[in-house]
Structure 1
Amino acid sequence: MRHLILSDIHSNLEALHAVLRNAEGAYDTIVCCGDLVGYNAAPIEVIDWARKTLSAVVRGNHDTVCCGIEDPLMFNSVAREAALWTLDELPPASRAWLAELPAGPLTFDGFEIAHGSPGGEDDYLIDTVDVSGLDQIMMRKICFFGHTHLQGGWSWQRGGIQRLTKPALSEDERIIDLDPDFLYLINPGSVGQPRDGDPRAAYAIWDSGNSLLRYRRVKYDIRAAQNRIHEAGLPEYLADRLAAGR
C-alpha cells in the first residue's frame, strides 16, 4: 500500500494542489498529521477537500483553536490573528468537523500518526534529545508526525538514534529504504508553510509493500497564496515567510 503523508497544510490551497499534482499516481490513500488550517487564507476549500479525501487524520493545535474548542492564548500575535480570522470565516459545518477530529496518536494500516509526538499532541520534536525515550511508547514501528514544519526525522538503529535527512535544495526527492527491524519517527514536512529554509511544499510517500520512504519537495504558486493572504487582510508577515521558507 502506498500512502501519501501530509502535514501542516495550513489553509494553503495552492501548495496542496501542487502536492496532489506532483504525487498523482504514486499513492493509494492520503493521511494527514494535523493543522489543516491556520496562517493562510483558504480554510474552507482545504476542509472541504479533507472531508472528501482523507483516509485518516489527527487534529493539530491550530485546528483546535480555529474551530473554537481552545483559546489562542498561547499563540503569538500573528498566529492568533490568523486563527481568529479563520474561526470567523468557517461555516458551522466546517467548525464542527474540525472539532470532531481525533487527538493523536492514531494507528492506521500498520503505522501511527500524531501531530506533535506520540507522547503529546503539542510536543515539538526538533532535536535528537527531544525524541529520547519515545521508542518506549510508540505503538508501531513507524510514526509520522508534524507540528515543527521541518521535514526529516529519526530512526532507532543498533548504533543508536540516527537522523533522517530531507532532500537538498538541488533535489526534488530523497528515497530511504526503511529497515523493518528499526523504529522510525518521520516528519513529512509542511505542505503549506515550510520552515526549513526551503519554500517548496513538503510531503512524503510511504510505500509499505517495498519499505520505501520518499521525501519530496515541489514548487507551487507562492505569489497566488500570498495574494490570498493580502486580500483576506491577514498579517503581511504570513505572506512574506512563504517565499523565505522560514
Structure 2
Amino acid sequence: MTRFIHRVPLRFLILSDIHANGEALKAVHADAVTRGFDLTLCLGDVVGYGPDPNEAAAWVSTYADVVVRGNHDRACSNLSDYDSFHPLAQHSAAWTKEQLLPCHVEWLAQLPRGPLQVDNFDLVHGAPDDEDRYLFDAEEAAASLRHAAEQVTFFGHTHVQGGFVSRRPTGSTAALRFQTVPAQLTLEEDSLYLLNPGSVGQPRDGDPRAAYCIYEAHTSVAYFYRVEYDIRTAQEKILAAGLPEELAYRLATGR
C-alpha cells in the first residue's frame, strides 16, 4: 500500500465524483479556499457524464496531491471496458474517450487504485475491499469495514454525502446522514468510519448542490459542505455536446 504520511497538522480538502462538471468544480474550489485547506485529495471519477473532461483532468492533475482512480477513469483511459455500465454511462464514456487529450488519457491510466493511506486515514473509490463496490446500506458497510486498515476510510462512488459508523464494543453499524449542511462530525475514538464527501459534479442524494468535505486528521473532525453552482450553464454544455438530455436534467434534481 502506498503511504502519504505527514508530520504536521493539516486540513485536507476531499473531493469525489467530479464527473467532468467544470462549473461545479470551480464553485467547490472557490468555496473551499474561503474555509482553508492544505492538501487536496480526490477519490476518483474525475471524468464521465459531464461535458468538461479535459478541464477536470487538467485541474485535478495540477492541484490534487493524491488521487485514486474511479471506474469511469478506468473506462475512459482504456483500462477496462464499460459494457457493465448503464446506457447513459456507456454513451458518456464513449463520448469522453473521443474528447480526452492524449496527455489526460495517459494521466488517468496511471492513477493508482485504492486503498491509499494518507496521514492516519485511507482513500478508496468504492470500498476498502473492492474499488467498484457501492456502499449504500449499513449491512454492506459492516462487511466492508472488516477490511478497513484505518479508523476512517473516505470513499465515493455512490454520490451520497454522509457515510457509516461502526461503534464499539457492540460493532453495530449505522448510516450517517446530515439533516443540514454544513455539518461537523467529530470521530469517536472507539468507532470505525466510512465517510463520503459526496459528489462534486453529480450528486444523487436529492440535493443538487455540489458536495465536498474538509478533514482535520489531527483533531479527527470532518466538515461536510454543499455549494451552489451554475447548473444551467453545466446543462447547456451537456446538451451542446450532444450528450443525453437526462444527464443535463438530473443535475437540477440531485438524483
Partners of 2:173 and 2:81 lie apart in 1 by: 36
Q: Tell me the TM-score normalized by structure 1.
A: 0.96
> Are residue 210 (structure 1) and residue 219 (structure 2) matched?
yes
Equivalent residues in 2 for 1:107-118, closer than 5 Å: 107-118=117-128
- Structure 1: where are the runs of 5+ without partners? none
1:161-200 → structure 2 map (5 Å cutoff) = 161-166=173-178, 168=179, 171-200=180-209
**SS, match of residue 215 in structure 1:** strand
Per the alignment, residue 85 of structure 2 pairs with 75
Superposed CA offset, 1:86-117 (max 9, x none): 10101111101100001111111121000110
The match for 1:231 is 240
* TM-score, normalised with respect to structure 2: 0.93
* 3-state SS in 2 of match to 1:229: helix
Supply the AA of the counterpart residue of 1:51: S
| Kept in 1: contact 2:137–2:175 (CA 8 A) | no
Q: State the Cα deviation string for residues 200-241 of structure 1 (Å, max 9, x = none).
A: 001111111222111111110000111110111100000000
Cα shift at 1:79 = 0.8
SS of structure 1 residue aligned to 2:97:
helix
Residue 66 (structure 1) aligned with residue 66 (structure 2): no
Superposition map of 1:22-33 within 5 A: 22-24=31-33, 25-33=35-43
Identity over aligned residues, as a percent?
Answer: 47
Q: Determine whether 1:95 maps to 2:85.
A: no
Structure 2 unaligned spans of 5+: 1-9
- Figure out how many residues of one structure are paired with residues of the other and give that number: 243
SS in 2 for 1:227: helix
CA contact (8 A) 1:225 1:239 kept: yes
In structure 2, give the amino acid aligned to 1:165.
R
Displacement of 1:184 after TM fit?
0.7
Determine the C-alpha separation between the residues in 2 that align with 1:123 and 1:84.
22
Q: Could you tell me how far 1:197 is from its partner in structure 2? A: 0.5
- Structure-2 separation of matches of 1:12 and 1:180: 36
Cα distance in 1, alignment partners of residues 91 and 147 from structure 2: 36
Q: Secondary structure at the match of 2:80?
A: coil
What corresponds to 1:149 in structure 2? 159
